[in-house]
């Protein structure tokens, strides 16, 4: 079954579908760093398929460069990652490239979710017009152009909780406009608010998942079975990773400790290697480290979150004292799920502080990736040949958890 992934990001949604045997014809993504990540993951899947995973492992160990890795890919795989912004000015060019890749193959499925900032509750609260003038509100229309062009049997459209309430200048919900448009072009569409934690992801992540099916049939939305992880806590995501001080770590090979996790093996995060990558911590200044210590002690000793206003005046550098007062937050290892990992983690790590006061730092890209259920051999690239911690964090925060995507893919397979 062949699919196209639109607004692909780092490929979390795609990863889940590939695990279930779907064949990715093309990924379309405007961010260069994300496209590099997609191409690196494409190289992984190709090398595994032809029985040469060891070459990919050499890449993770920095024994070969990225150009050498990509040089092993057949042209069709290199061309399958399309670094273009989706929109009226580029769609024909993107169609032409996809047509050349798919040849006579039928596109069975389209997946993807347009950028969510315009619908997000936080984005709307921060914008004086509530994001109503943001062009990204209408990217679903561009998504529909791909449905019209390729006529897949079904589609999966992912977005944030705010989609349920976001309205245009006339007071009409964008969601209702979407459903109407999709129906007009031949798709009945159903949706639910899904919780990533119900799929085994150790994170309180809520996402609106629309599933469209060609025709007029209704009542087809899958009944997902909730995974029982009641005995699993967030501490699992730290297992096997060596302890780090702020500013320390490595973009490439980092050997595991002996503290292994059955949970991480079961969900395919630890998947056969004895090392991981991108376990590299941000440097922090003295003031932030002091605040981190206060926040960690407050949680570990009293089970209380730090309120910014409770800090000593000498440590308060933000003028805003009425909102985001929980801007310094621990990733509490004894809870069943962490708070949502978002792209803001790329700007600072204050909302994702490691619970170990001896390490006294924010979490690494690898720890964030594990919270999102990405496998430990998933490598997040930067724009250039040099890896970027910031680019990795942004991609991880924007991604769909592969574990959640895999369960959705299982049900879509049945639907098709």
Listed in sequence order, the DSSP H helices in 112-243 are 121-126, 139-150, 174-184
Beta strands of 33-92 (E only): which ranges?
81-82
Nearest to 288 by CA among 307, 326, 316: 316
Whether 19 and 410 have beta carbons less than 8 Å apart is answered as no
> How far is the C-alpha of 57 from the C-alpha of 272, rounded, in Å?
11
Active-site residue among 116, 154, 163, 194? 116
35 is a catalytic site residue: no
- State how far the Cα of 1 lies from the Cα of 243, in Å rounded to an integer: 43
Q: Tokens for 84?
A: 């273009």
CB-based contact 296:284 (threshold 8 Å): no
Sheet holding 81-82, edge to edge: 81-82, 23-28, 2-6, 109-112, 154-160, 206-214, 187-195
Burial of 321 (0-12, 13-18, 19+ CB in 10 A): exposed
Q: How many CB atoms lie within 10 A of CB 25?
A: 20
At which residue do the structure tokens 């024909």 appear? 92
Measured from the Cβ of residue 309, the count of other Cβ atoms closer than 10 Å reads: 9
Active-site residue numbers?
116
């Amino acid at each position: 079954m062949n699919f196209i992934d639109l607004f692909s990001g780092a490929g979390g949604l795609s990863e889940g579908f590939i695990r279930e045997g779907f064949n990715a014809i093309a990924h379309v993504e405007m961010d260069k760093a994300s496209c590099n990540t997609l191409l690196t993951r494409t190289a992984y899947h190709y090398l595994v398929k032809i029985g040469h995973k060891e070459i990919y492992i050499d890449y993770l160990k920095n024994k070969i460069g990225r150009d050498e890795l990509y040089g092993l890919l057949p042209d069709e795989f290199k061309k399958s990652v399309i670094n273009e912004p989706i929109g009226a000015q580029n769609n024909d060019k993107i169609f032409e490239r996809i047509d050349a890749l798919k040849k006579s193959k039928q596109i069975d499925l389209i997946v993807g979710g347009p950028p969510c900032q315009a619908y997000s509750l936080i984005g709307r609260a921060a914008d004086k017009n509530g994001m109503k003038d943001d062009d990204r509100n209408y990217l679903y229309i561009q998504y529909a152009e791909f449905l019209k062009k390729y006529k897949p049997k079904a589609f999966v459209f992912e977005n944030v909780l705010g989609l349920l309430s976001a309205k245009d200048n006339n007071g009409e919900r964008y969601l209702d406009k979407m459903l109407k448009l999709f129906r007009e072009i031949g798709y009945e569409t159903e949706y639910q608010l899904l919780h990533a934690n119900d799929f085994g992801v150790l994170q309180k992540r809520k996402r609106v998942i629309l599933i469209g099916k060609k025709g007029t049939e209704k009542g087809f939305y899958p009944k997902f079975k909730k995974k029982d992880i009641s005995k699993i806590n967030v501490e699992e995501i730290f297992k096997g990773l060596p302890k780090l001080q702020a500013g320390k770590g490595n973009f490439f090979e980092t050997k595991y400790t002996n503290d292994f996790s059955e949970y991480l093996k079961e969900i395919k995060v630890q998947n056969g290697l004895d090392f991981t990558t991108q376990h590299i911590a941000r440097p922090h200044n003295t003031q932030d480290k002091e605040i981190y210590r206060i926040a960690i002690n407050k949680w570990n000793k009293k089970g209380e979150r730090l309120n910014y206003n409770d800090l000593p005046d000498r440590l308060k550098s933000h003028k805003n004292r009425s909102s985001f007062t929980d801007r310094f937050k621990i990733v509490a290892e004894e809870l069943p799920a962490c708070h949502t990992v978002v792209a803001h983690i790329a700007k600072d790590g204050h909302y994702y502080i490691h619970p170990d006061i001896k390490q006294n730092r924010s979490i690494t890209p690898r720890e964030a990736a594990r919270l999102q259920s990405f496998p430990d051999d998933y490598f997040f690239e930067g724009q250039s040949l040099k890896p970027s911690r910031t680019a990795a964090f942004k991609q991880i925060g924007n991604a769909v958890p592969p574990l959640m995507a895999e369960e959705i893919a299982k049900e879509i397979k049945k639907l098709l």
